[in-house]
Amino acid sequence: MTRNLFILTSFFALPAMLHACDLCGCALVTHHDRLPNAGLYTGISEQFTRYKTMQEDGRVINNDARQKLDSSITQIFLGYNITQSFGVQVNAPFIRRVFRRSEEAGIESGSVGGIGDVSLLANWIPVFHQTNELTFSLKLTAGLKFPTGDSDRVLEEAAEADSEAAEAAGAESEVEAESMETAPESGIHGHDLALCTGSVDGIVGGGAYVRWQDLFLIGDVQYAIRGHGKHDYDFANDLLWSGGVGVYLIDRNTHRLAVQFVASGETKGEDEFRGVRSDDTSASAVFLGPKISASWRDRLTADVELDIPVHQENSGIQIVTDYRLRAAISWSF
């Protein structure tokens, strides 16, 4: 192996949660096969998620109102490696969501968009070992996410809470009650459409890589520790993980190509609004799919990945993932 082996671009991803909350992990560039050179790098990643399946407590139900959500998260990142083993990175996500959902007054179609939460990350490689046939590396990441996006959509939770309280007190008319009984329940709520958590969050994670000849194995994990959010709405902590086995199809000094089979997963607890847990916000999922990665002259790297859900659990009624596409490109100066 030479110092010019393939630079594999790995993204903690993963960004979306399986339900419409769609919390995005931070894109991170990882040079697994070598210690990265000191200096500047930049790139962009895109994650598109399609939601059309309705579930209630982990069971698929009819989507009579044809509710759906298309979510696009574009992250622009800029980083600087101070040394070969330590660097910093800034991520700025731009989010757009197009939705169709059921409301008491009928079907609502619309879209939301804008900047998400900007993150500042520090990356450290404490272990790197390489021989002629074997490479092993370990990378750790920690940082903060700042509430730069718009979280005002969570205010819809107050309207829902007031409506439920009025219903319990018998304040609704018979006509309104009948309308609520016949209208399909929405699987897309205010917390699903918010562009950020409205809180300062901590991010910790790590990744390990092992290569033997043309085969390699990668594992990544990222955990978000949510702070107290605006409007008394607190998003739950969430865990993102991924792992996969791959093989280099082309391994030359000037260009390389690798394919992977990736398994990834996400777990999130129940959010809290005004100190009360929301019973339609917890979720967990497992995805499987292929990933293709390529590099040119150890400067330009690109990859594309397809994630198909094979297991999804949730609380209450939520709209869940049908598929997810991710792509990224980066340049090292």
Reduce the DSSP state of residue 16 to 3 states and report it.
coil
Which is nearest to 94 in space by CA: 114, 79, 70, 112?
A: 114
When divided into structural domains, the chain yields a total of: 1
Q: Flag whether 307 is in a domain.
A: yes
Distances 2 to 22, 38, 127, 214, 303 between C-alpha atoms, Å = 40, 18, 18, 13, 22
**Number of alpha carbons in the 13 Å side-chain half-sphere of residue 238:** 31
How far is 46 from 44, CA to CA, in rounded Å? 7
Does the residue 247 lie in any domain?
yes
CB 292 within 8 A of CB 273: no
Can you list the positions of beta strands (E) in 133-225? 134-146, 201-212, 215-225
Assigned domain for 133 exists:
yes
How far, rounded to the nearest angstrom, does the alpha carbon of residue 75 sit from its chain's CA centroid?
11
CATH of the domain at 154: 2.40.160.40
In a domain, 103, yes or no: yes
Sort 153 into a burial class: Cβ within 10 Å, 0-12 / 13-18 / 19+: buried
H helix intervals, 142-277:
156-168, 174-182, 190-193
Is residue 27 domain-resident? no
Distance CA 101, CA 81 (A): 45
> What CA dihedral angle connects 160, 165, 171 and 174, to 10 degrees?
60
Residue type, 316: G
The pLDDT score that the predictor gives to residue 158 is 73
User: Tell me, what's the pLDDT at 31?
Assistant: 53
> Coil, helix or strand for 266?
strand
Q: Is the residue at 63 inside a domain?
A: yes
Note down pLDDT in tens along the chain; length 333 residues: 333 333 333 333 333 333 333 545 555 555 556 677 789 999 999 999 999 999 999 999 999 999 999 999 999 999 999 998 999 999 999 999 999 999 888 899 999 999 999 999 999 999 999 888 899 999 999 999 999 999 999 998 776 655 554 454 554 444 444 444 566 889 998 989 999 899 999 999 999 999 999 999 999 999 999 999 988 999 999 999 999 999 999 988 788 899 999 999 999 999 999 989 988 999 999 999 999 999 888 789 999 999 999 999 999 999 999 999 999 999 998
Q: Name the pTM for this structure.
A: 0.85
Tell me the residue range of the domain where 147 lies.
39-332
Is 243 inside a domain boundary? yes
Question: Cβ distance 301 to 9 under 8 Å?
Answer: yes
- The per-residue pLDDT for 132 is 82
State how far the Cα of 168 lies from the Cα of 270, in Å rounded to an integer.
23
Dihedral, CA atoms, 233, 223, 305, 41, nearest 10 degrees? 100
Could you identify the residue written with the tokens 């049908």? Answer: 322
5 located within any domain: no
